[in-house]
Structure 1
Amino acid sequence: MASPPDTSKTIKLERTDQPASLYAATKKAGEEIAHTYNHIYGLSLTGLRFFTVYGPWGRPDMAYFFFTKDILQGKPIDIYQTQDEKQVARDFTYIDDVVKGCVGALDTARKSTGSGGKKKGPAQLRVYNLGNTSPVPVGKLVSILESLLNTKAKKHVIKMPRNGDVPYTHANVSLAYRDFGYKPTTDLSSGLRKFVKWYVSYYGIHTRVKKDSEIRSEHPED
């Protein structure tokens, strides 16, 4: 088995009982409801926390997706900074790595212990982070897209609104690695290359976008 991801710098306990946004509150509420059903009815439950999933057939409302669309159309894109003008970073996780984590969680899931609405014994209850363990500044993501699309982005740098959103995310996946060997393998450059290839094919865009051979010659280390 491969060596575990280095999470020595990410282990930090934070309170989760005072969410700063409705989005965070719904996530917390979902996990607490799962805990209650597990406790009362003996349901075997597993929660998976996805960290900024991207890739082909992704959500059009995600930044990497509409950045690609707007860059190709020559429209300006908003790039957020923190209130103290630091870069916002996300733990971008390629879809293939997330799928591997989902399969691993399914393969190690146990049966429920409840029957007829009655609990007959302790049941499995797990929560895992599925991330890439490598936060990347959003500005870097834009730079990679500019290179892949062979088009300069029109950047509009603005400060992040004070709505509870976090300045960066960084997944500690040590539990997922321990329990089912989860280990992401796709870096952002490689993942975005696959996404852009899908995007231009799906939407029939052929102008300006670099071919795979051109990208490999410029980035032989990828």
Structure 2
Amino acid sequence: MERMTQFKDKSTGAHEVSVGLFNYPVLMAADILLYGANYVPVGDDQTQHLEFARDIAERMNRKFGELFVVPEPVAKQHEFFGKDQGLRIMDLQHPAKKMSKSDDSGKGVIFLGDEPAAAARKIMSATTDDKARVGYDRASQPGITNLIDVLALLRGTSPQAVADEFDGMERYGDFKRIVADEMATFLSDFQAQLAAVDDDHILAKLQSSEAAMREQADATLLRVQRAVGLRQ
């Protein structure tokens, strides 16, 4: 597991590494295999872990019989979800790193609970570059490329379609304003829909789903324990 890309990235230069980080691929595999999942919506940074889960399932099945459902390979996952790679939205202030809720300042992160006007200000203050010409190039224009990805996500279209629409636009401020306005509109609509949700209905659905999933998990766990000799 020391060869896992995420572990190497996050442990480089660290004095101590938590066992949680080291064991994360195993815990993720357990979450997948316990419930017999065929398809797992993961980001491109998690595909190695998905393959690790497949490897565990296949090895256990060869040794002990058909214990686990083997998740579909990455190519099949992409085909099922209708895209070859999910969008990875980057930090607005540091576009070389992934947007994360653990960001201390919060300035580079859009939260679904942000006031729409506050989120718009974050977009307007996003880091760009000195080219002052909209283009989709993750290497030389990571900041503006990230904003193109954000707009594509808001519109439900491809980054290439957005890049083609605004290619060559010479005022970053104008492009940021478009992204900021659409972000504010999205958050306003989302928060209005969220406020209208019936909490009791959602709780009842969660409880019924939990019961069904616990039954599935218990059956898988018992099957595995019997196969390896931990239960009669």
Alignment TM-score > 0.5, same fold: no
TM-score range, shorter chain: under 0.3
Q: With structure 1 as the length reference, what TM-score do the two structures score?
A: 0.23
Question: Higher relative CO (CA 8 A, sep ≥ 6), structure 1 or 2?
Answer: 1
Larger strand percent: 1
Q: With structure 2 as the length reference, what TM-score do the two structures score?
A: 0.23
